[in-house]
Every structure is written in structure tokens, then in C-alpha cells.
Amino acid sequence: MIEVLSSAALATVQDLGRTGSLRWGVGTSGAMDNLALAAGNLLLGNALGAAAIEIPVFPFKVRFGEDCAFALTGADCAARLDGQPLLPWWVHQARAGQVLALGLPQGGAQRGTRAMLCVAGGVDVPEVLGSRSTQLRGAFGGHEGRSLRRGDVLRAAGAGAACKTGFGLVPPALAMPLERDGLPAVRVLPAAEYAGFDPASRSAFWAGEWKITSQSDRYGYRLEGEALRPIAPMELRSHGIVPGVIQVPHSGQPIIQMRDAQPSGGYPKFGTVIEADMWRLGQAPIGSRMRFIETGWDEAVAALDEVRAWLDKVARMVELHRAAPGARR
């Protein structure tokens, strides 16, 4: 049993997302940093998409009711287990009764914003429509269809089982950095209405710095920069959209759809942040600045391969550690 001891604002149970229910109006949800989730699960020998706790607000505290291996990935939050400092991106062993505390993300300009607490076997909540992710809008999935609260008790499916601990990995932000002119960047494929924007606005989008405003959450990131102007007003028919789509409402300030985004929309679409870079965006702090890099289809698909290759490398490294003698409980 894992008991939530802090107010836990906005912490949710997430897996890799709910696919296949878009036609009922159900968006995908899923971890904002899917790479942190997958890597944390690999470290524990879990299935890649096992459910974990996504933590966006700190401090955050839980008590383990039984022995349980866990991995901390995503933002480095100066975690402590019964006061002992813990390494980030590392597998640890908790003993029954121990308290895990996460503080504010550290690392200066390189800091992340969401920590993933992965546990042995994954967080054991019922699968709803094929996923354990929290569907906040629909109030189902995850833990009772809502974000966690003080006093909630979760179960790790593999608690008590032997699990090799005491090793970790280099975070993907260091292994696969992406910057443009000194700022974090993500790659974008132009979308249907791209050509309908003023040429000056198109140039400004790629050249400019974009601030992630405080009105940014799991639904979407509202950005602030030079307003994007259409050549003529565009009023579209509602159509399917996906996380990463950059919509431009009449104000001209773009909104990037994130994991809890609606599965459909009607604002003009400037472009889409490629799936392979969504984990970078998932760790971008509110108030920080970023840039966009224009990309093409082949490069965008190759970027997915790069992510997969990194995960394969992690899997091989974990295998070596788990096969090594001296496995600790």
C-alpha cells in the first residue's frame, strides 16, 4: 500500500494513454513525459506502459505500507527516503513504513517540471476502456477518475516481490538534447491551415521565442509571443485533433494541445509538435521560453526511431544490471 501524505494537488495516475476510444469523444490522456514513464518502468522490469504517478506540484509525500521497489524519473526533485537523499532516474528499495518526499524540481534552467513515481508492477488501478490513465474530463480511469488527495491509498501490483535496485540511467534530456539559439526547442510539422497565415507571422513563429504562460496544464499550453495573424479569418468545421496540435484562436496566441486535450477542435491549426518531442514539452516549466523548429515527414518519423532506440538501449542496460550477481531485495 502507498498512502498519499501531502495535498498532492494535480498528481494523477497515468500510463501511456488510452487509444481507440476517440470516436466516443475520449481523448488519450497519458503521461505528459511518456519517456520518463517508459524508462521508469524498464528500470523496474515492468511492462513499458505500466501505470505510475505523475507529480506536477511539490512538495509531494507518500508512505510505503510494505516493502516496494520504485523508480523516480522525470524532473529531479531532490527526493528523500526517510530523510536520506535519493538519486534521480534510479531504482530504489523502500521498506515498509518509509516515507518518500519530493521537493521542488532542481537543475536551474535545465530543470524539469513533472516527476514520475514508478512502482514495482505498476500502480494497480482498474483498466477502463483499455487504459489506467486518469480521464479528468470524463471523471473515470486512474484513481477514481480524479487527481490524488491526501489520504488516498494506492497499491503497487509488484510490492513485496524481489526487484534488482541500486542502478539508474542518464536522463533523455542529457542523452538527446534539443536546443535552438540557446533555448529548448521542439520540432513541428506544418498543419492544414499553415499556408493560411500571414507570411510575416509564419516567419515570426519559427524565429521567435515563445513563453509558456501560467494558463498551461495537462489540457494545453497557452503560449505568449508575437501574435499569429491569418491572411483571412478562418472558421473551420470540427475535426479530429491529437496532442501536439498547435491551434491559433482569434487572439493570435497559440495553444499547444497536451495529453488531456480534447480529441477534436475547430481553431485553425498552424502545425503539430511531433510525437517524438512531446516528452520535452511535458517537462517545460511554466514561465520558461522555447523555440520551434520546422521539420519534414521523414525526419519526424526518424525522430520516433531515435526515441525507440534510446529505450532499447535502456532495456539492454537494465538487463545487464538485473542479470549481474548480488541482486538485492
**Nearest Cα residue to 294 out of 172, 221, 187, 211:** 187
- Residue 300 in contact with other proteins, rule: CB under 8 A: yes
Q: Does 128 bind other proteins (CB under 8 A)?
A: yes
End-to-end alpha-carbon separation of the chain, Å? 18
List CB contacts of 177: < 8 A, sequence separation 6 or more.
none
CA 260 to CA 119: how far, in whole Å?
23
DSSP one-letter code for 285 = P
Nearer to other proteins, 171 or 268 (CB): 268
Interacting positions 268-287 with other proteins (CB under 8 A)? 269, 272-276
Residues 6+ apart with CB under 8 A from 144: none
What's the chain's Rg over C-alpha atoms? 20
Q: Does 242 bind other proteins (CB under 8 A)?
A: yes
Number of residues forming the site for other proteins (CB under 8 A): 57
Please report whether residue 129 would count as binding other proteins according to CB under 8 A: yes
239 sits near other proteins (criterion: CB under 8 A): yes
The answer to the question of residue 241 lying near other proteins (CB under 8 A) is: yes
Judged by beta carbon, residue 95 or residue 308, the one nearer other proteins is 308
The count of residues in the chain is 329
Nearer to other proteins, 308 or 329 (CB): 308
Of 263, 243, 261, whose CA–CA distance to 24 is shortest?
A: 263
Q: To the nearest whole angstrom, how small is the minimum distance from the Cβ of residue 99 to other proteins? A: 34
Q: Are 23 and 292 in contact (CB under 8 A)?
A: no
- 309 binds other proteins per the rule CB under 8 A: no
The interface mask with other proteins, positions 6-45, x = CB under 8 A, is: -------------xxxxxxxxx------------------
Give the separation between CA 75 and CA 79, rounded to whole angstroms: 10
Mode of pairing for the β-strands spanning 245-247 and 210-216: unpaired
* DSSP β-bridge partners for residue 71: 91, 118
In whole angstroms, the minimum distance from the beta carbon of 291 to other proteins comes to 17
| Residue numbers 132-171 binding other proteins by CB under 8 A | 135, 137-141
Q: Please identify, using beta-carbon distances, which residue of 65 and 265 lies nearer to other proteins.
A: 265
**Cα within 13 Å of Cα(48), Cβ side:** 9
Residues 187-226 that bind other proteins (CB under 8 A): 189-192, 215, 219
Site for other proteins, residues 252 to 271, rule: CB under 8 A = 255, 262-267, 269
Residues that bind other proteins (CB under 8 A): 19-27, 128-129, 135, 137-141, 189-192, 215, 219, 233, 235-245, 249-251, 255, 262-267, 269, 272-276, 296-298, 300-301, 304
